[in-house]
Amino acid sequence: MARWLLGDSFHPGGLKLTSRLAGLMEIGTGSRVLDAGSGIGTSAVHLSKTIGCETVGVTLESEGVTAGVELARQEGVSDLTRFVAGDLQDIDAGAGSFDAAIMECVLSIVPDKKRALERAHSALMPGGRLGLTDVTVKGNLPQELDGLLAVAACVGDAMPLEAYGDLATSAGFVMEHLQALPETAQSFLTDLKGKLLLAEVASGLGKLQVPTDLIVEAKRVLAAAQEAVAEGSLGYGMLVARRPG
């Protein structure tokens, strides 16, 4: 159900935002890119196919490796992509091996965020860039956004945008771009609401095997999220930072 609702990219803004991030990072043909938290490989394959860069995706689940390899084969970029299973907090991708590292809607759910950023810093060559997009939180969120579905949606341990920037700086990066993306959060939730309505209808007709109580809970969380976005306490943001040298 999560994949059906969120899409293959699994993050607000989708591949359009991935491409925008890559542009700000000046990723080009021949660049070596680390996708830290690559999921099922959608962003890594997209970047290799559209830009011609070499990507290495790191995902916590071995199933993600299998899915990424298959997607790369289907899109004809197997020669440009590689996927490995590993923890972002302990990743050893090779010191100074990459021109760029991206983290999309993943740092918010990593327990030791600074360590994950330090590992990314180590993997980058001097002058290499980190690009991050993630859920942002200001102040207290409604109780509805403190459960399992909220954690799955990257809300559980999200931070203010400025705090992500401070963490990147403390990990050794120099900030280049920091931007709130409220329209991305709003658009994502609007799209999600439409899909939930379709899911409810399909479930009622027996065409989608999803427990009714799960749909009810998802609608409750979504309503709370929309209210939080409208109030400015929940949002989405993007940053680009550089390893000095």
pLDDT digits (tens, 9 = 90+) for 26-82: 999 999 999 999 999 999 999 999 999 999 999 988 899 999 999 999 999 999 999
Give the start-to-end residue ranges of the domains of the chain.
2-137+154-182+234-242
Measure the CA–CA gap between 81 and 78, rounded to whole angstroms.
Answer: 5
Of residues 201 and 83, more confidently modeled: 83
Question: What pLDDT, on the 0 to 100 scale, is given for residue 148?
Answer: 47
Q: Where are the beta strands (DSSP E) in the chain?
A: 32-36, 54-59, 81-85, 98-104, 124-137, 174-180, 234-242
Model pTM greater than 0.85?
A: yes
Homologous superfamily of the 2-137+154-182+234-242 domain (CATH): Vaccinia Virus protein VP39 (3.40.50.150)
- Length of the chain in residues, anyone? 245
C-alpha to C-alpha distance for 219 and 125, rounded to whole angstroms: 44
Residues 194-209, mean pLDDT to the nearest whole number: 73
For residue 157, give the nearest of 217, 94, 114, 95 by alpha carbon: 114
Residue 235 one-letter amino acid:
G
**Token pair 């298959």 in the structure block, residue:** 70
pLDDT tens digit string along 182-196? 999 888 888 878 877
